[in-house]
Amino acid sequence: MKILVCVTSVPDTTAKISFTDGDTKFNKAGVTYITGPYDDYALSRAVELKEKLGGTVTVLNVGESDSEQVIRKCLAIGADDAIRVNCEPKDSYFTAVQIATIAAQENYDLILMGRESIDFNSGVVHGLVGEMLGIPSLSPVMKLEIEGTTAKMTREIEGGKEDIEASLPLVLGCQEPIAEWKIPNMRGIMTARTKPLRVVEPVGDDLTITEKFTLPAPKGACKMIPAENAEELIALLKNEAKVL
Partner 1 sequence: MSVIIFTEIDNGALKKSSLEAVYYGAEVAKMKGTTATVLAIGEASEAELAKAGNFGATKVLHANDARLATGNIQAYADVLASAVTQENAEVVILAKSSLGDAVAARVAGKLKAAIVSNVTELPDLSGGFKVTRSIYTGKAFATVEMKSDKKIIAIKKNAVSVVESGASAGVEVFTPALKDADFAVKVTGTHKASSTISLPEADIVVSAGRGLKGPENWGIVEDLANALGAATACSKPVSDLDWRPHHEHVGQTGIKVSPNLYIACGISGAIQHLAGVNSSKVIVVINKDPEAPFFKAADYGIVGDVFDILPRLTKAVKAL
- Among positions 187-206, residues that touch partner 1 (CB under 8 A) are 206
- Rounded Cα distance, 67 and 84, in Å: 9
Q: How far is CA 126 from CA 42, 102, 219, in A?
A: 12, 14, 35
> Taking the complex as a whole, how short is the minimal distance between the CB of residue 36 and partner 1, in angstroms?
10
Q: How far is the C-alpha of 6 from the C-alpha of 105, rounded, in Å?
A: 15
**Burial of 121 from C-beta contacts in 10 A (0-12 / 13-18 / 19+):** exposed
Which residues inside 43-72 make contact with partner 1, applying CB under 8 A?
none
The size of the interface with partner 1 (CB under 8 A), counted in residues, is: 78
Task: Tell me which stretch binds partner 1 (CB under 8 A): 44-52, 76-84, 187-195, 214-222.
Answer: 214-222
Q: Which of 8, 42, 91, 172 binds partner 1 (CB under 8 A)?
A: 91
Positions 111 through 130 that interact with partner 1 (CB under 8 A) = 118-130
* β pairing state of 160-167 and 137-147: unpaired
d(CA 110, CA 130): 11
Rounded distance, CA 174 to CA 165, Å?
Answer: 16
| Cα radius of gyration (the chain) | 21
- Smallest distance, partner 1 to C-beta of residue 180, A: 12
From 59-67, 103-111, 165-173, 180-188, span contacting partner 1 (CB under 8 A): 165-173
Is 237 a binding residue for partner 1 by CB under 8 A? The answer is: yes
Question: Which of 22, 54, 107, 209 is in the footprint of partner 1 by CB under 8 A?
Answer: 209
Residue from the set 76, 138, 178, 179 that interacts with partner 1 by CB under 8 A: 138
Minimum CB distance to partner 1, residue 64 (Å): 18
Residues 7-46 that bind partner 1 (CB under 8 A): 11, 13-14, 17, 19, 37-38
Q: Is 142 one of the binding residues for partner 1 (CB under 8 A)?
A: yes
Is residue 106 within 8 Å of residue 169, measured between CB atoms? no
* Distant-in-sequence, close-in-space partners of 201: CB < 8 Å, separation ≥ 6: 85, 86, 87
